[in-house]
Amino acid sequence: MSNNNFSKKYNRLLEFSTIIVISIFALLLFVEYQLQTKAKAEQLRLQFEHRVSELDNFLRRVSNQTVFLKQQAEYWFSFPQENISNQLFHATLIEKDLNLQNTHELNISGQLSFVLKTTVEMLEKITAAYYLSNTGFMWIYPQPLEIISKIYENLTPEFQKNYFWTNAYYDETNKALMVSCTSPIYEKLPDDQMIFRGMVGIDMSVDILNSFMLKLNDQQGSLALINENHQLIGYQGLVSSQHILAKPAQRAVPSEYSKEFELMLQDQPLKLHYFGDYQVYYQKLKFAPWKVIFLDRPQTLTHFLFEQGGLLFSTLLLILGLLLLFVDRLIRHYFVSPANRLVEYIEKESKSPHPINIPEVPISWKRWFEIIGESFQTNRNYTRQLELKVQERSASLKQKNKALGDALKTQKEMQAQLIHSEKMASLGMLTAGIAHEIKNPLNFISNFAELSNESLLELKQQPNDLESIFDDLEIYITKIQEHAKRADGIIKSMLLHSRGSDTERTPTNINELLHEYAQLAYHGMRAKDVNFYVSIEEHYDQAIKPLKVISQDLSRVFLNLINNACYSVNQKSITKGKGFTPIVRLTTHNKDNKIEIQIWDNGMGIPEDKQKKILEPFFTTKPPGEGTGLGLSMSYDIIVSGHQGEFLVTSQPDEYAEFILTLPKTNH
């Protein structure tokens, strides 16, 4: 390492340290920004909920008073007309030159006048309270001089509904944009029939609603109020009672977010949505079919830095820079320069076969140079001694290496012979099964060949029936080809099984491969023991598509595991007698990115002390001479190493044993 390299490394270390310190400071500043932003958002949410609660309380009082007016009117309608005449009220009307007859509406208005007056005085913010009959007569308080005849268009209140809120409308009398809380009045006749007699209601201008829509916190937290028909009926600076028409609800947000706004209103209340830099959510009111919208643009990180934490950040950064510069000067003077000389001294000592003179250095560093010089000299002495010993042992090691090489070669040859023996043993087990499997298609071929000969003889004897005979011959030849292909496939499978492992992966139907080798294993066991019987239950997931695998390797795994299962249930059957039903269950499952193969048997199981060793090479639970101990070890390597899968074993002694194989669908 040269002096220049050492300086470069030191400079990099200093730069890295500076970056780390600045990064930590910036991270802390960002965390503080996030915490403050979250705290402000939570504070605004609480203020929003409080404001919604205030508005709901006001609307509750209005709706309750509207229902009270309805109850009072229906109460007076239940009395006969002659019993509710109000002479004092009539005299007042005559003095004011209002030429009205003593109608039923006037009587009801007289009885309700005090209640209407009390309603307006009690609910300070409302504009007016009124009674409107079904004939169009209206009595309004606090404007008793203007008794008018007016019919509301499309007045179809729901039967027996307590109250409802109207859309925003422009009231010509008050010259203001208004909303009303109204309630229908019904008279109950002696036959219990309900007749619509009119309505009572409470009017309020949108300015009253605007008073609840003030910003929550200075310049943050704008509020908007919309009704069920998406009219904007409350928004500071955008909604006023002087307007003739109500604005659409979309005006509450910037125009480019109109679609997002509509989707938000269909989402659940108080769920936060982001419209660009804006945070938006809403809450439903309990006593009106309206929604209060919260719209806010949180402060940005730049604003936070330069408006609130900018001065502190700049000051700390300047102090940090000066501190790092001062520390750099001290380190260079008292450490870097002497360390550079020490590095140069070490480099020269390491390359020289003789001691190097110590350069001029501060006294505090001189002892380090002396220690290093002594260490190098001691190392030179040890090196000379080691070279002699190495030369002496080299000859001995060559002889030992030759002996170890010969032993290793012998061991590999023995392992190859054992693996070959295992393959031949499994092939021997297959022979009887293959003979049984190939016998069926050969019998079919022979039978259909005889039928073909008979058809040819028939053709010679009855040449007129050509079409029928040719149809039969076509069927026989097709069957011969079909079973010939079946026999050819069995022979090819046997040849593949007997060959060495091939690393080429080919698309393979796992269900068919498992079924085929289950049959071969079963008939192989039957050939060895005619009394052998096992019930093979097969549950294959038909959704499994052909998988790219090394089919001859996978067939060895299936054959080995099914042979072991058959052997285990056979041993248990001998022990338990006729009361035991041997079962081997084969199951496949199609999963997201893999397939799972389960081979289960109710045989002898695997003892707990042997389950951990079952996959080790040359370990077997079978009696001497009946197993090599390589079958499960080879199967494990084929699944895990060859196919990047999983090989799991579960067992309960004397109950069952299960092998679970997992193969990934993605090729590696």
Please give the full DSSP string across 508-552, using - where no structure is assigned: E-HHHHHHHHHHHHHHHHHHH-TT---EEEEE--TTPPPEEE-HH
Give the tokens for residue 591. 């999963």
pLDDT exceeds cutoff 90 at 645: yes
- Which pLDDT band holds residue 160 (cuts at 50, 70, 90)? very low
pLDDT exceeds cutoff 50 at 152: no
Residues of the chain above pLDDT 90, percent: 23
Report pLDDT for 353. Answer: 76
pLDDT exceeds cutoff 90 at 61: yes
Average pLDDT over residues 450-470: 69
**481 vs 436, higher pLDDT:** 481
Which SS3 state, helix, strand or coil, does residue 128 take?
A: strand
Lowest mean pLDDT among 161-175, 495-509, 549-563: 495-509
Give the separation between CA 312 and CA 457, rounded to whole angstroms: 111
Lowest mean pLDDT among 365-369, 549-553, 586-590: 365-369
Report pLDDT for 436. Answer: 55
Lowest mean pLDDT among 193-202, 441-450, 525-534, 651-660: 441-450
Asked if 14 and 336 touch (Cβ cutoff 8 Å), the reply is no
Average pLDDT over residues 358-362: 75
Backbone angles phi, psi at 643, to 5 degrees: -125, 5
Report pLDDT for 98. Answer: 46
Cα 53 from chain centre: 36
pLDDT exceeds cutoff 50 at 490: yes
Average pLDDT over residues 595-622: 81
- Which residues make Cβ contacts (< 8 Å) with residue 540, sequence separation at least 6? 511, 514, 515, 586, 587, 588
Report pLDDT for 422. Answer: 56
Average pLDDT over residues 396-422: 71
- Which pLDDT band holds residue 609 (cuts at 50, 70, 90)? confident
Report pLDDT for 150. Answer: 37
Model pLDDT for residues 320-329, shown as the tens digit of each residue = 767 777 777 7
Name the helix (H) or strand (E) containing 56: helix 3-77
Give the separation between CA 600 and CA 538, rounded to whole angstroms: 11
pTM (whole model) above 0.85: no
Give the separation between CA 621 and CA 633, rounded to whole angstroms: 13
- Which pLDDT band holds residue 492 (cuts at 50, 70, 90)? low
**212 vs 219, higher pLDDT:** 212
**310 vs 483, higher pLDDT:** 483
Give the tokens for residue 435. 């003979």
Beta bridge partners of 80: none
Residue type, 617: P
Task: Count Cβ atoms within 10 A of the Cβ of residue 521 and give its class: 0-12 exposed, 13-18 middle, 19 or more buried.
Answer: buried
Backbone angles phi, psi at 242, to 5 degrees: -80, -15
Which SS3 state, helix, strand or coil, does residue 308 take?
A: helix
pLDDT exceeds cutoff 90 at 541: yes
- Which pLDDT band holds residue 203 (cuts at 50, 70, 90)? very high
Report pLDDT for 297. Answer: 81
Q: Are strands 148-149 and 164-165 parallel, antiparallel or unpaired?
A: unpaired
Report pLDDT for 102. Answer: 45
Which SS3 state, helix, strand or coil, does residue 212 take?
A: coil
Taking alpha carbons only, the member of 133, 162, 166, 157 closest to residue 66 is 162
- Which pLDDT band holds residue 455 (cuts at 50, 70, 90)? low
Give the separation between CA 184 and CA 190, rounded to whole angstroms: 20
- Which pLDDT band holds residue 18 (cuts at 50, 70, 90)? confident
Q: How far is CA 146 from CA 55, 134, 139, 407, 468, in A?
A: 31, 18, 8, 123, 108
Average pLDDT, the chain: 78
Lowest mean pLDDT among 208-217, 290-299, 436-445, 609-618: 436-445
**201 vs 44, higher pLDDT:** 201
Report pLDDT for 145. Answer: 45
Q: Are strands 583-590 and 535-539 parallel, antiparallel or unpaired?
A: parallel
**182 vs 24, higher pLDDT:** 182
Give the tokens for residue 407. 């032993």
